């Protein structure tokens, strides 16, 4: 077995997370977290709780204030370019390049890393465009595309390099019901092993601020964590969440139920 496949995909030890836009500000403290290959983590927390910052840190876009972060055993600041390309990130809202079309956005990482011509790269991303129903928008620039489709294009862009780890920052925020359903089904396929990735299960971390729909993510093998009061609290599977005697977890579930009731009014 390949050694890197058995190593934890992400390891954080004693990590303090700074805010991406204000690095001196601490948003999370003493994070100890291990993501094993093939796991699908759901990290929930209210807005401004540090979810995006945790994901940016996990993606290697900023260093930890204290502690260390490792990808497949290598510390992120020292990670070589090949290791870095094994990590895909979908930003909240997509963060596509506005001057490029949707197809060019998706093709950019392939063009850059494999030195492909524009035509060759566009041919390479055609299956991605078709599989994600983005073909009609291929030649449109992101400002002229609805937010639902921009995030989907960002997912396609993150998958273009066939990563081993996919980080998704609040991808379902503001999506319509049809798109939410598509995302749940597609992420499930990625978790089980999609043909685009050679059938290997993809390790994923997804953040959400929608506590009322936390139970919707309940699925075999999925693991949950919450962020509150600058703490990262790993909860385990949904079954463990429901049966936990931890007062913090019970309080979270109570909040979740309240939000469900409020949203049903």
Interaction site with another protein (CB under 8 A): 20-21, 56, 59, 61, 81, 84-85, 87-89, 91, 95-98, 108-109, 111-113, 115-118, 157-158, 161
Minimum Å gap between C-beta 129 and another protein is 17
Nearer to another protein, 109 or 191 (CB): 109
Nearer to another protein, 116 or 248 (CB): 116
Minimum Å gap between C-beta 55 and another protein is 10
Nearer to another protein, 91 or 183 (CB): 91
Minimum Å gap between C-beta 237 and another protein is 29
Minimum Å gap between C-beta 219 and another protein is 26
Nearer to another protein, 140 or 253 (CB): 140
Nearer to another protein, 76 or 208 (CB): 76
Minimum Å gap between C-beta 60 and another protein is 8
CA dihedral 161, 162, 163, 168 (to 10 degrees): 90
Nearer to another protein, 21 or 185 (CB): 21
Nearer to another protein, 111 or 223 (CB): 111
Angle (CA) 178-195-214 rounded to 5° is 40
Q: How far apart are alpha carbons 188 and 168 in whole angstroms?
A: 13
Q: Which two tokens stand for residue 179?
A: 């798109």
Minimum Å gap between C-beta 223 and another protein is 23
Angle (CA) 24-30-31 rounded to 5° is 100
Minimum Å gap between C-beta 255 and another protein is 30
């Amino acid at each position: 077995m390949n050694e890197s496949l058995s190593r934890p995909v992400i390891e954080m030890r004693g990590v303090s997370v700074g805010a991406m836009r204000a690095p001196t500000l601490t948003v999370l403290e003493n994070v100890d977290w291990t993501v094993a290959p093939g796991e699908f983590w759901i990290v929930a927390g209210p807005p401004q709780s540090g979810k995006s910052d945790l994901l940016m840190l996990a993606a290697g876009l900023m260093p930890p204030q204290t502690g260390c972060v490792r990808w497949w055993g290598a510390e992120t600041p020292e990670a070589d370019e090949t290791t870095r390309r094994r990590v895909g990130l979908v930003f909240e809202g997509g963060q596509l390049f506005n001057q490029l079309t949707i197809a060019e956005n998706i093709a950019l990482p392939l063009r850059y890393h494999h030195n492909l011509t524009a035509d060759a790269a566009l041919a390479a991303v055609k299956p991605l465009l078709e599989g994600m129903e983005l073909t009609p928008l291929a030649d449109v620039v992101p400002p002229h595309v609805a937010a639902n489709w921009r995030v989907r294009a960002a997912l396609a862009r993150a998958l273009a390099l066939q990563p081993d780890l996919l980080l998704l920052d609040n991808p379902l925020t503001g999506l319509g019901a049809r798109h939410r359903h598509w995302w749940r089904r597609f992420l499930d396929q990625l978790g089980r092993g999609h043909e685009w990735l050679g059938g290997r299960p993809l390790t994923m971390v997804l953040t959400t601020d929608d506590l009322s729909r936390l139970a919707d993510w309940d699925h075999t093998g999925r693991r949950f964590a919450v962020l509150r009061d600058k703490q990262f609290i790993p909860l385990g599977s949904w079954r463990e969440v429901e049966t936990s005697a931890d007062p913090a977890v019970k309080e979270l579930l109570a909040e979740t139920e309240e939000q469900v009731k409020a949203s049903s009014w």
